[in-house]
Structure 1
Amino acid sequence: MLVSNNSYVAPPSFILNGIPGLERVHVWISLPLCTMYITSLVGNLGLVYLIYYEESLHRPMYFFLAMLSLIDLITCTTTLSNALCIFWFTLKEINFNACLAQMFFVHGFTGVESGVLMLMALDCYVAICYPLRYATILTKPIIAKAGLASFLRGVLLMIPFPFLVKRLPFCQSNIISHTYCDHMSVLKLSCASIKVNVIYGLTVALLIGVFDICCISLSYTLILKAVISLSSSDAWQKAFSTCTAHVSAIIITYVPAFFTFFTHRFGGHTIPPSLHIIVANLYLLPPPTLNPTLYGVKTKQIQ
């Protein structure tokens, strides 16, 4: 928006345009998304309720799983409400500050989720490599501190994002080709240099994503080394069953996340916007939908 003194100010609102090129099938796209959301809502709330009330599940692994379920519910609820309003009622307008708040919640809690997945990998490592010391190493105070540290890291590193965006002038279109306010999608509307924002975004990605992936990889390398040294086939099976659900959760979380991250920055015009937006939604919705099923099927205690 251009004002009389030739300076630029932020628009009062943005227009979320949904999935460009697929407007005619928005209603049909909304049906599986809504089904997945209801499934994730029932599954994750049920899982949290079960872990809270069942004393046999008051163990580190299940505390971390409850954290993961709560985080998943927050992230998918934050974004899907906008998507369904677009698909069902053509309500595309979102207030500028509400857009920044949504951006903060989406990226902040995905950062927290990454930290919880890392803690779950460390939990698997301790359970397999130090089974006799498991209860003394992962005590409730340690779990609480680790969970709080993961939460604070994700939130504190994301606090600058809204302020860095708010300082930018938006003198071009206010139409965002997305179903929610993604950081890079908003930045592309600015008519000023976004170098600082991009550099800070890459720095946060390194501090959270790359660090967590390295810790997870190291944990599973040590787990694999310990499992190979086991002579009993039953011990092998027990060790792998402990980690199968977590490995599946890592795959369905990180693969679409890295696809979204790299296509925004390096994909250019080679990847259709509709594909990018669909994957960006798959990055947030399938993990909370599938995680309760994965852990329910693979974990005898939850069954």
Structure 2
Amino acid sequence: MRMNKQLIEQELQQIINSDHVLVDELLKNHTYTKLGGKADFFVTPATIEEVQQVIRYAKNNNVPFTLLGNGSNVIVRDGGIRGIVLSLKKFNAIKRDGNSVIAESGARIIDASRFALEEHLTGLEFACGIPGTVGGALYMNAGAYGGEIKDCLDHALVVNMEGDVQRVEAKDFDLAYRTSNIAEKGYIVLEATFRLQEEDYHAIKAEMDDLTFKRESKQPLEYPSCGSVFKRPPGYFAGKLIQDSELQGKGVGGAEVSKKHAGFIINKTNATATDYIAVIEMVQKAVKERFGVDLEREVRILGED
């Protein structure tokens, strides 16, 4: 698709403050893997009305549109992403309402968990080590250590692809293991309300401290990565299958399977997205050949080569 980039830039700047419209922005600056080419337009709206207007502009002018959270569970290809990449990082407020925590979609789910702790509310402890945003956590029904978003989500506010705001109840997101219908429905999450319960501060903190220790001792947090790459296959653990396939320390270019946790692929030395994806495919092929198990990606791959 051929775009008049100068015209689109001017028109986007009529919708959003010009400082919040970046042209040819390197997406590796916005991903946990530190990978990714350029976005034609990287926009960071500050209000719901601006989000609605950007969506409607993209739809009415046939400009490709991609939502990017904080880049913790995505790989952006080296060719970048065409059209508009929208980031809700300015939507990061968290507040309490009764025994509920209301968190905007650009807030980190870790911060929502810590806020709940300070408010003596239990139910979000499992999220204390998940690096993604609240919106991303809903998108994939994020979970860890026996808890997941569907256990505590009450409802969310979303914008649909017509630019209209809707309230969606938790049951209507079809939340299951690392999945939801958010992409299928074309929703962009604006904020989520989590239904929690009051509990002793010290009991909540002890649980979070224990989970944090487990995470930091087992995961290769010293390197850029997208976190856990694969979903858990029924009856197996992805990391154990990869470990038993003797893949730890093996890689392509600057990307390799972590020696600390086989379920992670790290950007060890200036990897490209092409390197990273090649390691994913190498792992899938080796595990399939050795154990007959198909590893399904948990991480999303966006953009073009």
User: When the two structures are superposed, what TM-score results if normalisation uses the length of structure 1?
Assistant: 0.27
Larger radius of gyration: 1
Structure whose residues are more often strand by fraction: 2
Answer 1 or 2: which has greater helix percent.
Answer: 1
Relative to the length of structure 2, the TM-score reads 0.27
